[in-house]
Structure formats: C-alpha cells, structure tokens
Amino acid sequence: MLTWTDSLFYIAFLGQIYLISYYFPEKILGRMRYVLDTYPPASYPKLYPKPVEYYQIGQWKFKMVNRFIVLLGFAIILATLFLVDHLSFADDGFISQT
C-alpha cells in the first residue's frame, strides 16, 4: 500500500532520474553536436587533434551510458515499488521490524 510519503518519494526519484540521466545529458549532447556542426574539422583543424570519428564515437558512448543509467534507475524504482513496499508490511498491517 502506498502512502503519500511513498508517492512523494517516487515522484522525487523519477524527477531525479529524468533530470540527471536524461535532460542534462541531452543538453550536453546537443552542445557537442552544435560544436561539431558549427565548427567543422576542415575549417578548424586545431580544435580536433584526433579524427572526427573519435568524437562521434565518444558522443555515442556517452548517449548509451546515460540511456543505460535511465533504464537502471527505472529498474531500481520498479524493484523498490513492487518488492520492497509489499514486503515491509505484515499481513496484520503492522510495519515489519526489518
């Protein structure tokens, strides 16, 4: 059974997952794309000491790691919601000591 404090916790946790693992990384990726598009390696060779593919692979890895973190956060919240909450109350309604 969810109480209002549990619901508030889940809303706050979902907000953190969204902000930290999706919103801010998307802003960073957008800025990376902007730099690559606005300042191409042909015009600004000193900005890219390594091949441009190196930076594109880095962007892809950054994106995939953050997607994994989003999925992990949702898995944790679902495990907490379905496993921990249902195990914390006894059948008679009292809170378990564990």
25-57 pLDDT, tens digit per residue, is 999 999 999 999 999 999 999 999 999 999 999
Cα–Cα distance between 18 and 79 in angstroms, integer? 18
Residue 85, pLDDT > 80, answer: no
Residue 48 CA: distances (Å) to CA of 17, 65, 92, 96: 33, 23, 66, 59
Structural tokens at position 47: 């900005």
Specify if 56 maps to a domain: yes
* Average pLDDT score over residue span 1-7: 73
So what's the pLDDT on residue 79?
Answer: 85
Segment holding 85, helix H or strand E: helix 85-87
Mean pLDDT of the chain: 86
The number of domains in the chain is 1
pTM, two decimals, is 0.76
In a domain, 64, yes or no: yes
**Which of 64, 85, 63, 95 is closest to 13 using CA atoms?**
85
Residue 72 in domain: yes
Whether residue 93 lies inside any domain: the answer is: no
Distance CA 13, CA 19 (A): 10
Q: At what angle do helices 52-79 and 4-18 cross, to 10 degrees?
A: 170
Say how far apart CA 41 and CA 67 lie, in whole Å: 28
